[in-house]
């Protein structure tokens, strides 16, 4: 099996995309929310505590039929040889070409290509201004600041933190020759977006297969959605971002905004 790794900044869009891709008969992933199960990347980057902690989370081993899966994943140091058996177990009746994981742009692409030269990447991008608006809306709902913002941060300090990770995203996208998928297109025309991805991966892109990927909604826990409809999450910054913050984005992230076509 080949790795299919989705690079993004932010969680919700990636989880939404991965949930649909995981329903494709030629792609396998662990489908428990929030789809952070990443044994391949955990094996490559064993010192990354955040990555390993997500992979070892109890929700991925809640099924009584998966004690062997827990044994394969929770080794002291997860060997790369365990990856295919792990995904073969998850695949069940499928015969997948790809296993699917989320990839953070901070990670070293060279390690991925050294282990799996046939790895494929999707870069899911969203207007950087909407990323901040969405993060702040979520923080307001849960009652504390997270993501890249902390109490006492100035707007400029927050924007500079996002600049760092978006610069990593641009670098990872270029270095991996990743297919760029825009969050806005994914929300507005999901079927054509999935077809684009399937054609890129050279897997079945028939109408029946695409409909199968779309057939079931994502089971997202209460409180994890900050817009009543997906379309309302697009271009929120135009109504919710003040002039000063817009200026900071133009100053520090203007090149990123232009690179991904959000001029």
Per the prediction, the chain carries an average pLDDT of 90
As a whole number of angstroms, the distance between CA 9 and CA 206 comes to 30
In 211-223, which positions are buried (b, 16+ CB within 10 angstroms) versus exposed (e)? eebeeeebeeeee
Average pLDDT for 161-178? 96
Determine the average pLDDT of the residues in 129-143: 88
Which pTM does this prediction carry?
0.89
- Percent of the chain exceeding pLDDT 70 equals 92
- Round to whole Å and give the CA distance between 3 and 120: 6
Mean pLDDT on 29-40: 93
> Structure tokens of 191?
């079927």
CA 80 from centroid of its chain's CA atoms: 22
Mean pLDDT throughout 194-199? 98
Average the pLDDT over 155-175 and give the result: 95
Q: Looking at domain 2-259, which of 3.30.70.20, 3.30.1360.70, 2.40.240.20, 3.40.50.300 is its CATH number?
A: 3.40.50.300
The per-residue DSSP string of 69-113 comes to HHHHH-SSS--GGGHHHHHHHHHTT---SEEEEEE-TTS-HHHHH
CA distances from 145 to 11, 59, 165 (A): 16, 25, 18
pLDDT at 221 over 70: no
Distance CA 240, CA 163 (A): 20
Is the pLDDT score of 45 beyond 80?
yes
- Span 57-92, pLDDT tens digits: 988 988 766 788 998 998 778 999 999 999 999 998
Q: Which of 175, 80, 82, 83 has the alpha carbon at shortest distance from 121?
A: 175
């Amino acid at each position: 099996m080949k790795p299919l790794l989705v690079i993004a900044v932010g969680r919700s869009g990636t989880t939404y995309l991965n949930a649909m891709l995981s329903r494709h008969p030629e792609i396998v992933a662990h489908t428990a929310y929030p789809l952070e199960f990443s044994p391949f990347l955990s094996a490559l980057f064993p010192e990354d505590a955040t990555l390993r902690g997500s992979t070892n989370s109890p929700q991925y081993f809640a099924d009584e039929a998966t004690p062997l899966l827990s044994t394969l994943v929770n080794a002291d140091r997860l060997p790369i040889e365990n990856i295919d058996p792990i995904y073969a177990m998850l695949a069940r009746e499928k015969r997948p070409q790809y296993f699917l994981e989320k990839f953070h742009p901070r990670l070293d692409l060279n390690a991925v290509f050294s282990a799996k030269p046939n790895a494929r990447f999707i870069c899911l991008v969203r207007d950087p201004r909407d990323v901040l608006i969405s993060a702040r809306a979520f923080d307001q709902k849960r009652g504390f600041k997270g993501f890249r913002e902390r109490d006492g941060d100035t707007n400029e300090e927050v924007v500079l933190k996002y600049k760092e990770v978006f610069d990593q995203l641009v670098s990872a996208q270029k270095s991996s020759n990743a297919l760029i998928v825009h969050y806005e297109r994914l929300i507005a025309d999901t079927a054509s977006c999935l077809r684009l991805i399937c054609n890129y991966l050279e897997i079945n892109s028939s109408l029946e297969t695409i409909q199968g990927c779309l057939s079931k909604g994502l089971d997202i826990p209460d409180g994890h959605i900050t817009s009543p409809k997906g379309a309302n999450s697009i271009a929120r910054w135009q109504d919710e971002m003040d002039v000063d913050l817009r200026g900071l984005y133009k100053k520090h992230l203007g090149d990123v905004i232009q690179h991904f076509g959000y001029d």
